[in-house]
Amino acid sequence: MEKLQEYLKSHNESEMHPSDIAQILRQLNDSQFAQSVKLIPKNLVGDVALALPDRLFDDVVENLSVDELSHAVTELESDDQLEFMQELEEVNQNVASEVFDTLDEDDKQEITKLQTYDDGEAGAYMQLEVFTATKDEIVHDVIKRFADLRKANELENVQNLFITNEENKLRYTIGLDDLLIFNFSKTLRDNIENSGEKFEPKVARDREDIKDVVHYFEEYDLSVMPVVNDYGVLVGRITSDDIYDIINEHATEQMYNLAGVDDDAEENEEVLRAGKKRASWLGLNLITAILASVVIGMFSDTLQSMVALAILMPIVASMGGNAGTQTLTVVVRQLALGDISQKDAFRIIKKEILISLLNGMIFAIVMGIIAYIWFGMSNLGTVIALSMIINLFVAGLFGAAVPLFLKKMSIDPAIGSAVILTTVTDVVGFFSFLGLATLILL
């Protein structure tokens, strides 16, 4: 707590950064935390709360009154206002609607407007504050207006001037680096015409998939993008800091989905919610594990006559599962990054089978020799070696083909592909090993 007091004393408010305060808060225990929340400057508390993990966001808002919360929301930019209100609703629906009622009409309208967008739509990530002008304004006047807006703290982190027509449709995007070398005593129109450049805006549509918008940022090295609606009317902008968050979120989603975990449920601190989502995946896994056991059960006579088979059989399944997961992960990720596409399907499947089969042959030989030495039966070595080659071939094939197929069916390849794959490698692993044993050994 002294650390926070020290920070607050040594910085004046314009120099403080919400992330720094959040960083200090995270080091505190619960009672220090509650006291410290009261010390945060009221203009910054909204940003500080949003810079904390969800669990601590809850702790911040529980230590603030409705008036304080309302003030905090007022100080945020539009996209952050929406996020704050959404998180607040999750903490306490009643407090959230009380806070909403106290907001002024403009803020209410903006939040309501942003709420109309779905989670995956570009509009849901934009902020509404933009710096606009019309063509016939003199550059000098535009800059004067800009200076006033800056002073009133209405606009932050501006990199472009957006030129709209009388219907507010976006016509040009002028980078501040271009604006700086314009002739200030002339109109924007004259400057644009003299420059020889087109200043054609690269726009995102508000209902567009945010993944596509992220892709534009990456491909075209953008740091900001205007957002327009279906009529071309400028409605907001998306900035690089949003993109960092979205890239991270998407990667998290992918990793979690591969492991059978739901990213939304995990963000939350409720053990039950995360647990329930995980349970549905474990339930699916139980079914596939039982299926594998049924396959084993088909060979109960064989197993009874040679216990070595029971001892060795998990190895074949495990190696197949691991090799398949390697392939699966690479294919899922490269599909997501756009490094490979449907059109490469044949090449990728061929390559993945080759890698998996090569490794299969190496470890088949190694394991064959080990089994031979362990149980003193050369035929047993042959059986495990052959079944490992079969299973790793299948692992490469399905590890590559499953995500490519799901993608083709427009299903997210990260979801469910791991469960399909391990079902295949378990079933094929046990079946090939015990089947070959029945044929060769008995």
Span 167-226, contacts to a copy of itself by CB under 8 A? 176-177, 179-181, 197-198, 200, 217-224
15 or 166: CB nearest a copy of itself = 15
Check residue 146 for interaction with a copy of itself (CB under 8 A). Answer: yes
State which of positions 63-122 bind a copy of itself (CB under 8 A).
none
Q: Is the dihedral of CA 145, 151, 152, 154 positive or negative?
A: positive
Stretch that binds a copy of itself, among 34-42, 68-76, 91-99, 295-303 (CB under 8 A): 295-303
HSE-CB of 378 using CA atoms within 13 angstroms:
0
> Contact between 307 and a copy of itself (CB under 8 A)?
yes
Q: Does 259 bind a copy of itself (CB under 8 A)?
A: yes
Q: Least Å distance between CB 67 and a copy of itself? A: 27
Euclidean distance between CA atoms 343 and 30, whole angstroms: 55
Q: Which two tokens stand for residue 296?
A: 């084993």
Which of 6, 154, 279, 439 touches a copy of itself (CB under 8 A)? 279
Query: φ and ψ at 172, to 5 degrees?
Result: -140, 150
3-class DSSP assignment, residue 225: strand
Between 9 and 343, CB nearer to a copy of itself: 343
292 binds a copy of itself (CB under 8 A): yes
Among 116, 300, 342, 378, binds a copy of itself (CB under 8 A): 300
Q: How far apart are CA 368 and CA 362, in angstroms?
A: 10
Q: Which of 92, 165, 252, 268 binds a copy of itself (CB under 8 A)?
A: 252
Q: Is 254 near a copy of itself (CB under 8 A)? A: yes
Produce one character per residue of 293-329: b if its CB has 16 or more CB atoms within 10 Å, e if not: eebbeebeebbeebebbeebbebbbebbbebbbbbbb
Q: How far is the CB of 102 from a copy of itself (least distance, A)?
A: 27
Rule CB under 8 A: is residue 258 a binding residue for a copy of itself? yes
In the complex with a copy of itself, the residue whose CB is nearer, 163 or 258, is: 258
Scan residues 311-350 and list those touching a copy of itself (CB under 8 A).
Answer: 311-315, 317-319, 322-323, 325-326, 328-330, 333, 337, 339-341, 343
User: Which residue's CB is nearer to a copy of itself, number 120 or number 275?
Assistant: 275
Instruction: Tell me whether residue 43 or residue 159 sits nearer to a copy of itself (CB atom).
Output: 159
Q: Whole-number minimum distance, CB 94 to a copy of itself, in Å? A: 27
Helix (DSSP H) and strand (DSSP E) numbers for the chain: 21, 6
Would the CA dihedral through 384, 388, 394, 395 be positive or negative? Answer: positive
Strand order, beta sheet including 132-133: 132-133, 160-164, 170-175
Token digits of residue 153:
């703290």
Stretch near a copy of itself under the rule CB under 8 A, chosen from 2-10, 35-43, 228-236, 277-285: 277-285
β-pairing, 224-228 with 204-205? parallel
Backbone angles phi, psi at 174, to 5 degrees: -110, 120
